[in-house]
Amino acid sequence: MSAERRNELLAHYDQNAIDVDWLPNANQHSYRWRTVEGKWLTARRRVRNHQTLMKAIGKDVVSDLYVSTSRWLDPIDLPRLHDKERPHPILIDHLIVFDIDVAPLSLHNLEKARTIATELHNYLANDSSIEFLSCSFSGSKGFHLFYSDLQREKFAIGDPKLREDTVRDSRKELLTRIIEQGFEVDQRVTADTRRIIRLPGSIHGTTGYQCTIVSLEQLNHPIKDLLEYIPRIDSAQKIPKRARASKKKYKKTVKKKPEAKPKSKHQHFVEASTHVPGTKDRSVILFWLPYSWGKDQEAMERAIEMMHEEDLGMCSFWQQGKRILMLCPIALPRSKVIKIYSSYGLKKRASILKEREHDWIQISNAMNEDAEWVDELEPIGLFGRELKSEKSLSRSHLELEHRMGIHRAIDQDASFSGGLEPSLRIVVRE
């Protein structure tokens, strides 16, 4: 991150107070942030207002700032979901949150997200079991709708674990109904009692736009007008009208008389290692979907089938021309990755991992000698479902995923392997 962006982030939180009064009992929520170095931290004190939040953050330069969707009797140092050694935390309340994102970022897709948010709010207006609390622009690809749960019986259950499980089941039922009505919302957020959501008033570290509470009147405005209400830092990126599609330029070839053999042009690529740095024999699944799997949607369906069968959780995808890159950041034994590759016809990838500790995979588009980018690499997004088993995630490959434009919410009870910095190299090819 540039020094300019760091200074703008520091200035934003110094000059703009974050209002948490919209949250009922803000001091019973947990607060987490990601620093500009990519490190995740959790507040070690209760947060009542902007001043106590800034004291909790201390000298950290915050890239992204989040708040828990749940209220806890003691929100400090919450035990993980599967922690058997410590008493189960006492859930006091859980906001009903709908996360509406339409990727990739563009004015056209933001208008789609705004329309979905408006129509979902209108649909839920007839539901007497919930009460509208707030709506915010996420700072990037969409909107968050917040509701209070008026049915309090489940929050009176004496057993803390049973209470949380009952709340989670209730949210799943609501989410199923919303999905069946055709609303496109993030299916991971609403039903997860351990979820964190971007805090209004904070800057989105990638786009430079502020996550901002908007009124229902503002939400009904066209996206171009609505964005006029949204604060941003000076280095905020410009949102394109439509998502860019990779285009190939074709030039007419003109036959000429044989002359001196022209010099071959070189292209520069960035490649990432599949090895999890800081571990002895852990690797992630990172490869370009083979053409033998079919084109576009067909190849994606084959990849998702593999993810489900092998319990690979949520995986990220990028597209470059007709090629699709896939990353599953679970830190697996190298022998397990080889077995998976072999089972799905990825013989070359399996062979390379048998011969050496890791494989190098191209993760960038190419730059030629004239400093021109060729075939841009565009994020597609995250696909898959939650892990059924406890597995560690590679810190470095989560960081790589973030740098490449895909941002996932990490569960508080997730475990990690290896160091933070990805293993990268630049290669030159003709």
Tens digit of pLDDT for each residue in 53-104? Answer: 999 999 999 999 999 999 999 999 999 888 888 999 999 999 999 999 998 9
Give alpha helix (H) positions in 35-159: 50-57, 107-124
Beta-strand relationship, 31-35 and 40-42? antiparallel
Residues 177 and 275 in one domain: no
Count of the separate structural domains present in the chain: 2
Residues 222 and 334 in one domain: no
* 372 torsion bin: left (phi>0), alpha (psi -120 to 50), beta (else): beta
pLDDT at site 258 = 56
Residues 37 and 140 in one domain: yes
- Model confidence band, residue 260 (pLDDT cutoffs 50, 70, 90): low
Q: Tell me the CATH number at 7.
A: 3.90.920.10
- Cβ–Cβ under 8 Å, residues 4 and 235: yes
pLDDT at site 266 = 61
- Over the stretch 134-144, which tens digit does the pLDDT of each residue have? 999 999 999 99
Residues 206 and 283 in one domain: no
Candidate from 19-28, 73-82, 169-178, 291-300 with smallest mean pLDDT: 291-300
Q: Tell me which of 229, 257, 284 is where a domain ends.
A: 229
Mean pLDDT of the chain: 89
pLDDT at site 369 = 43
Flag whether pLDDT at 244 surpasses 70.
no
| Domain assignment present for 54 | yes
Residues 14 and 124 in one domain: yes
| Domain assignment present for 240 | no
Residues 68 and 180 in one domain: yes
- Over the stretch 363-414, which tens digit does the pLDDT of each residue have? 987 544 444 445 567 788 888 888 877 889 999 999 999 888 888 888 878 8
| Domain assignment present for 260 | no
| Domain assignment present for 194 | yes
Average pLDDT over residues 125-135: 96
- Model confidence band, residue 430 (pLDDT cutoffs 50, 70, 90): low
Residues 223 and 276 in one domain: no
Q: Residue 397 sits in which domain range?
A: 267-429
- Model confidence band, residue 248 (pLDDT cutoffs 50, 70, 90): very low
Burial class (CB in 10 A: 0-12, 13-18, 19+), 291: exposed
Average pLDDT over residues 148-176: 95
pLDDT at site 254 = 56
Residues 146 and 292 in one domain: no
Residues 6+ apart with CB under 8 A from 64: 33, 34, 198, 202, 204, 205, 407
Q: Tell me which of 172, 200, 229 is where a domain ends.
A: 229
| Domain assignment present for 281 | yes
Residues 216 and 279 in one domain: no
| Domain assignment present for 320 | yes
pLDDT at site 372 = 45
Residues 208 and 299 in one domain: no
Flag whether pLDDT at 31 surpasses 70.
yes
- Over the stretch 281-335, which tens digit does the pLDDT of each residue have? 999 999 999 988 987 778 888 898 899 899 999 899 888 877 899 999 999 999 9
- Over the stretch 37-47, which tens digit does the pLDDT of each residue have? 888 999 999 99
| Domain assignment present for 251 | no
The CA–CA distances, whole Å, from 19 to 72, 99, 215 equal 20, 21, 15
pLDDT at site 377 = 77
The CA–CA distances, whole Å, from 393 to 287, 339, 413, 416 equal 17, 19, 11, 5
Task: Tell me the C-alpha distance between 428 and 430, whole Å.
Answer: 7
- Over the stretch 334-343, which tens digit does the pLDDT of each residue have? 999 999 999 9
Beta-strand relationship, 70-72 and 373-374? unpaired
Residues 172 and 271 in one domain: no
| Domain assignment present for 242 | no
Residues 209 and 346 in one domain: no
- Model confidence band, residue 127 (pLDDT cutoffs 50, 70, 90): very high
- Regarding pTM above 0.95, the answer is no
Flag whether pLDDT at 253 surpasses 70.
no
Counting residues of the chain whose pLDDT is more than 90, the rounded percentage is 69
